Structure 1
Amino acid sequence: MPARQGLEAVDILRLRDGVGPVLHDGACDTLGFLVPAGTAAGWDVPGSACTQTSGRGINLAALCGEGTPVEPPATGTGWLVPPEGAGADATDPVVLRAALGEAARTIEAVDRCQ
């Protein structure tokens, strides 16, 4: 997810429904939301991609260590919202889709007003 839209969606989710762990790439150009296994098959949000882990999913409960910082699951990434800050739940894909749509509309409105 492009960082600008992703950051807007994180704010929307934090205010309303809650957000699960979120990754950022090293250059902070993109964000990655951790979603439940099986989400990739039905993901169709323009401008984003959902990477399937081929059954290797991530055990979010195991990521929430006892006060120990958790390493991100992908090389070259860091946590924007770490698992221990988000709890052990992945972001609900239906809720994420709605937040991303709202974020896109917000960005479009801001861009029109500049």
Structure 2
Amino acid sequence: MAASDDAASGEQPCDLVTVPAREGLEAVDILRLRHRVGPVLHDREGDTLGFLVPPGTAEGWDLPGSACTQTFGAPPRGKQPPVSGSGWLVPPGGATGDTTEPDRLRAALREAVTLLRAVDRCQ
């Protein structure tokens, strides 16, 4: 996912954590069950998910298998996603927050990877 070149005026910048779709879908479920999840993007091919997180997250993001870049904030309901070539998995109106809390996202992604490794070993 690449950040859109044209930032909508008035929107607050945020960061975007991108992860492989398999781990991201598990993390979305974990966050929905235990905490809150902000808007989540998916790329059109279904390879990656992107979690909108507060600005400044990219500076300290260090989780292997993911990337964090700056993009532009969650638009109001009904607007196009802030990243070109993407759609909403969890739209702003369906999210339980404006962004996902980075420490909770990091923990959910780690748990998702551990869970998926255990599932893969059992197959």
Tell me the TM-score normalized by structure 2.
0.81
Please list the CA deviations of residues 51-99 of structure 1 after superposition, one character each: whole Å capped at 9, or x if unmatched: 124xxx42x3xx234xxx2210111100000001004420000000000
Q: Secondary structure of the equivalent of 1:34? A: strand
Match of 1:23 in 2: 41
Structure 1 residues without counterparts, runs of 5 or longer: none
Separation in structure 1 between the aligned mates of residue 91 and residue 58 of structure 2, nearest angstrom? 22
Separation in structure 2 between the aligned mates of residue 94 and residue 27 of structure 1, nearest angstrom? 28
Q: How many residues align?
A: 105
Q: Tell me, yes or no, if the aligned pair for 2:43 and 2:49 is still in contact at 8 Å.
A: yes
Separation in structure 1 between the aligned mates of residue 70 and residue 100 of structure 2, nearest angstrom? 15
Structure 1 segments, 4+ long, off by >3 Å, are none
Match among 54, 76, 92 for residue 85 of structure 2: 76
CA RMSD of aligned residues (A): 1.1
Tell me the TM-score normalized by structure 1.
0.87
